[in-house]
Amino acid sequence: MSDSIQALTREICAFRDERDWLQFHNPREMAVAIAAEAGELLQHFVWQNAAQSESRVRERHPELASEMADIAILLLEMAANCEIDLAASIRAKLARNAERYPVEKARGSNRKYNEL
Amino acid sequence: MSDSIQALTREICAFRDERDWLQFHNPREMAVAIAAEAGELLQHFVWQNAAQSESRVRERHPELASEMADIAILLLEMAANCEIDLAASIRAKLARNAERYPVEKARGSNRKYNEL
Amino acid sequence: MSDSIQALTREICAFRDERDWLQFHNPREMAVAIAAEAGELLQHFVWQNAAQSESRVRERHPELASEMADIAILLLEMAANCEIDLAASIRAKLARNAERYPVEKARGSNRKYNEL
Amino acid sequence: MSDSIQALTREICAFRDERDWLQFHNPREMAVAIAAEAGELLQHFVWQNAAQSESRVRERHPELASEMADIAILLLEMAANCEIDLAASIRAKLARNAERYPVEKARGSNRKYNEL
């Protein structure tokens, strides 16, 4: 099966439309749901250090896959609802970040672009 | 250009590796960054009602596309780092949700599956 | 018992110190934990409309009290760790918001100060 | 001035009522606003390690005080709106956590109570 964003988005929107859920899915609600799901993902890692978080991924692989799928489903639908081309936006952002974080300055640094 | 998750993930990971950033990108940090970006997306809609949130999308289309791209970039990389097949996980979650939310019960309802 | 922030903070820090947890409570971890708890609180209200959220408060009163307590405990400790006087900061913020949101302009409006 | 939660809550609710904002402050909106503000606080610490987060607190003391005040203001008002006694809830939670995290088992450990 295709892993194109367009194909996945079509399946997500079909699921939603069979249930007549678009009425609940205004942009605000989608942003709220994304934040709540991002909070669920984060909860797996609270108080963990880096090494513990690596083992956690191994121990809770299916749950984490499911949490990430929740965020992805909402994000793909929200982009579609807002007429945003997510693949193009990702590439535009990478291009912008390439300017903000030139390789020679950003290499090996965790600083923000305005602090490089 | 392809909008496949695999192709996009490859570009995202190439960007990261040119900057030697994998050292900062353990699962925990990725989850933190996703939550922070989801918070930024949410901020556009705080105190807005549904209708206001629709106009906001029109007024701030490029900013919202950029916020959603930030979340997508982190999510695709995190899935790759955790060896999670995001497209398969999305479809697995839709299948699970189809059981939890059967069309005849869920149609037109905003209730959670355990309250249907 | 006193409901002063200072008294409550003292009890929270005593609880922490008996368990030798300060080593895990750097500012970053506290901010992560607060965001995760805020996500838990939010989850109670996802997809709810205003009226549903009012009934939810009645139905889940003890759980919501417990979620809010979690955020408060972390916030009071974080303020103490960062040597921030939370009561003074609250009053300073109210004073700043009083300038940003003058009564005559802000009355009955849900707009942000830069859009009033 | 008093730093009692009751006194601070009274000032916060007076600020709100002068602006006739209660109409916008149903529990759901309050939870959304708290999550958005927790996201803002978190943004200060993304990609930071523990040591960097300590210096960040010194460099950005007034901004962090202001972010924490934002969360506190919303939390105190939300508790009042939901008829939750926040000081009592904090103490109830500390008592529950004292059972979940007995000193002899929890001392020096960052594990969750169900993993101790």
Q: What residues of A are in contact with residue C35 (Cβ under 8 Å)?
A: 39, 42
Q: What residues of D are in contact with residue B31 (Cβ under 8 Å)?
A: none
Interface mutation target, options D16, D26, D28, D40, chain B, most CBs of B under 10 Å: D40
Whether residue C113 sits in one domain with residue C78: no
Instruction: List helix spans (H) across chain A.
Output: 5-18, 27-43, 50-59, 61-81, 86-100, 103-106
Query: How many Å apart are CA A56 and CA C73, to the nearest integer?
Result: 26
The answer to whether D79 and D86 have CB atoms below 8 angstroms apart is yes
Whether residue D74 sits in one domain with residue D114: no
The pair of structure tokens assigned to B43 is 């901020």
pLDDT at B1: 86
pLDDT at D116: 86
Whether residue C114 sits in one domain with residue C70: no
Whether residue B92 sits in one domain with residue B57: no
Q: What is the pLDDT of residues A73-98, one digit of tens each?
A: 999 999 999 999 999 999 999 999 99
Across B88-105, average pLDDT: 97
Q: What is the pLDDT of residues B15-60, one digit of tens each?
A: 999 999 999 999 999 999 999 999 999 999 999 998 899 999 999 9
State the smallest CA–CA distance between residue C59 and chain D in angstroms. Answer: 11
Q: List the domain range (segments joined by +) for residue A101.
A: 85-116
Whether residue C94 sits in one domain with residue C78: no
Residue B4 forms beta bridges with which residues? A4
The verdict on B102 touching D (C-beta cutoff 8 Å) is no
CB nearest to B40's CB, from D29, D33, D39: D39
Q: What residues of B are in contact with residue C35 (Cβ under 8 Å)?
A: 32, 35-36, 39
Between positions 39 and 78 of C, the ones with CB within 8 A of A are 39-40, 42-43, 45-47
State residue C4 phi and psi, 5-degree precision: -75, 145
| Closest C-alpha to C94, from D28, A72, B75, D76 | D76
pLDDT at A1: 86
Hey, are the CB atoms on A50 and B26 less than 8 Å from each other? yes
Q: Which residue of B has its CA nearest to D47?
A: B29
Q: What is the CATH number of the domain that holds B71?
A: 1.10.287.1080
The answer to whether D91 and C109 have CB atoms below 8 angstroms apart is no
pLDDT at C81: 97
Q: Which residue of D has its CA nearest to B39?
A: D39
Grouped pLDDT means (10 residues each) for chain A, 116 residues: 96 98 96 98 94 93 98 98 98 97 95 88
Whether residue A99 sits in one domain with residue A80: no
CB atoms under 10 Å from CB of B39, counted, come to 27
Hey, are the CB atoms on D73 and C84 less than 8 Å from each other? no
Whether residue D67 sits in one domain with residue D25: yes
Q: What is the pLDDT of residues C65-104, one digit of tens each?
A: 999 999 999 999 999 999 999 999 999 999 999 999 999 9
pLDDT at B116: 86
Q: What is the pLDDT of residues C2-53, one digit of tens each?
A: 999 999 999 999 999 999 999 999 999 999 999 999 999 999 999 999 889 9
Whether residue C5 sits in one domain with residue C59: yes
Whether residue A92 sits in one domain with residue A43: no
Hey, are the CB atoms on C92 and D29 less than 8 Å from each other? no
Query: How many Å apart are CA C39 and CA D31, to the nearest integer?
Result: 9
Whether residue A48 sits in one domain with residue A12: yes
Which of the four pLDDT bands, split at 50, 70 and 90, describes residue D97? very high
CA angle, corner D3, sides to C113 and D5, nearest 5?
A: 75
Whether residue D77 sits in one domain with residue D115: no
Hey, are the CB atoms on B112 and C36 less than 8 Å from each other? no
Whether residue D94 sits in one domain with residue D80: no
Domain count, chain C: 2
Across D6-23, average pLDDT: 98
Q: What residues of D are in contact with residue A32 (Cβ under 8 Å)?
A: 32, 35
pLDDT at D91: 98
Query: How many Å apart are CA A114 and CA B15, to the nearest integer?
Result: 19
Between positions 6 and 25 of C, the ones with CB within 8 A of D are 6, 8, 11-12, 15, 18-21, 23-24
Query: Residues near A39 by Cβ (< 8 Å), separated by ≥ 6?
Result: B35, B38, C35, C36, C38, C39, C40, C42, C43, D35
Hey, are the CB atoms on C69 and D61 less than 8 Å from each other? no
Q: What is the pLDDT of residues D43-81, one digit of tens each?
A: 999 999 988 999 999 999 999 999 999 999 999 999 999
